[in-house]
Amino acid sequence: MSAAQKVSAANFESEVLQSPVPVLVDLYADWCGPCRMMGPVLDQVAKKVQGQAKVVKVNVDEEPELAASFGVSSIPMLVVLHNGKVVSHVVGAVSEAQALEMLQKASPVAQKDEP
């Protein structure tokens, strides 16, 4: 079971846009190799920031309207939103440290835990 929550167009506003904490959105597809590699990385990020930030996943094949709203042309694409606004994004696979840093820049509250 993934620590990152899967969201759809139906709950995107309540889970992401209205979230009181920063949200890292993983735009992915099941057939994408780099996207599959990001799964365990984002699960670790989700566990480390639990309560301080959220990590959610959006399947671009199942949610083409959401993908289009972010201008997705390549995946994986990670987007950090805070207070309903995009604060950063990156295309391609990233390390756990890079994903944590994206969340940290969104809000000083989302501190990463040291092992």
The catalytic site residues sit at: 32, 35
Query: Do 2 and 31 touch, CB atoms closer than 8 A?
Result: no
| Whole-angstrom distance, CA of residue 45 vs CA of residue 81 | 15
- Which amino acid, residue 52? Q
Residue 21 C-beta-side C-alpha neighbours within 13 Å: 15
CA atoms within 13 A on the CB side of 10: 2
